[in-house]
Structure 1
Amino acid sequence: MIRKLTEEDREGLLAFLGKEPALNLFLIADVENFGFEQDFQEVWGEFGPADAQPMAVLLRYEHSYIPYADGPFNVQGFAEIMLQDGKMEMLSGSSSLVNLFSGVINFRKEKSLYFAELKELNPEASARFDTETCVKRATIQDVESICSLMDGIEEFDVNPESSRRSLRRTLETGTGRTYFVERTGQVAASASSTAENSMSAMVISVATHPAYRGQGLATSVISKLCAELVSEGKALCLFYDNPDAASIYKRIGFRDIGSWSMMYR
Structure 2
Amino acid sequence: MSKVINYVSGEPEVNLYILGDIETYGVDAPVTVDAFEKAGIWTSLVLGLAENYVVYSRDRFEDAQEVADLIGQYAQGGDPRHINARLDIAEALAPHFPEMTLESCKLATCRGLKLTPSEADSDLTIRQLHRDDYEELLTLQDQAHELPSLPKTRKELDAAIERKAEAEKTGCETIGVYRGGRLVSSASTSAAYSRGAMVTGVATLPSERGRGYATLAVQSLCQDCFARGMDHLCLYYNNPVAARIYKRIGFVDIADFGMLRRS
- Counterpart check, 1:193 vs 2:185: no
Alpha-carbon shift at residue 55 of structure 1 (Å): 4.7
Structure 1 stretches of 4+ moved >4 Å: 47-51, 130-133
CA distance, structure 2, for counterparts of residue 186 and residue 164 of structure 1: 19
CA distance, structure 2, for counterparts of residue 264 and residue 178 of structure 1: 25
Alpha-carbon shift at residue 201 of structure 1 (Å): 0.6
Identity of aligned residues (%): 27
Give the match for residue 43 of structure 1: 33
Residue 258 of structure 1 aligns with an amino acid whose one-letter code is: A
In structure 1, stretches of 5+ residues that fail to align are: 1-9
Deviations for 1:30-88, whole angstroms, at most 9, x for unmatched residues?
222222221x431112356676xx45311122333221111145504333323434234
**Partner SS for 1:99:** helix
Give the match for residue 15 of structure 1: 6
The structure-2 alpha-carbon separation of the partners of 1:245 and 1:36, relative to structure 1 and needing over 3 Å to count, comes to: closer
Give the match for residue 205 of structure 2: 209
Alpha-carbon shift at residue 210 of structure 1 (Å): 3.1
Residue 230 of structure 1 aligns with an amino acid whose one-letter code is: F
In structure 2, stretches of 5+ residues that fail to align are: 152-156
Deviations for 1:186-239, whole angstroms, at most 9, x for unmatched residues?
112211111101222111111222343332222112101112223423321111
**Partner SS for 1:129:** coil
Quick one: which of 118, 121, 127 aligns to 1:129? 118
CA distance, structure 1, for counterparts of residue 33 and residue 17 of structure 2: 12
Alpha-carbon shift at residue 95 of structure 1 (Å): 0.8
- Counterpart check, 1:148 vs 2:148: no
Give the match for residue 154 of structure 2: none
5 Å matches for 1:86-165? 86-89=77-80, 90-102=82-94, 105-108=96-99, 109-122=101-114, 125-126=115-116, 128-129=117-118, 134-160=125-151, 161=157, 163-165=160-162
**Partner SS for 1:134:** strand
Residue 259 of structure 2 aligns with an amino acid whose one-letter code is: M
CA distance, structure 1, for counterparts of residue 40 and residue 238 of structure 2: 41
Give the match for residue 58 of structure 1: 46
CA distance, structure 1, for counterparts of residue 97 and residue 251 of structure 2: 34
The count of corresponding residues between Structure 1 and Structure 2 is 248
Contact 2:131–2:161 under 8 Å retained in 1? no
CA distance, structure 2, for counterparts of residue 60 and residue 115 of structure 1: 20
Alpha-carbon shift at residue 264 of structure 1 (Å): 4.9
Give the match for residue 5 of structure 1: none
TM-score, normalization: structure 2?
Answer: 0.82
The structure-2 alpha-carbon separation of the partners of 1:263 and 1:148, relative to structure 1 and needing over 3 Å to count, comes to: closer
Contact 1:129–1:223 under 8 Å retained in 2? no
Contact 1:138–1:178 under 8 Å retained in 2? yes
Give the match for residue 231 of structure 2: 234
Give the match for residue 68 of structure 2: 79
Contact 1:201–1:234 under 8 Å retained in 2? no
The alignment's C-alpha RMSD in Å is 2.6
CA distance, structure 1, for counterparts of residue 129 and residue 261 of structure 2: 35
Alpha-carbon shift at residue 155 of structure 1 (Å): 4.7
CA distance, structure 1, for counterparts of residue 53 and residue 146 of structure 2: 27
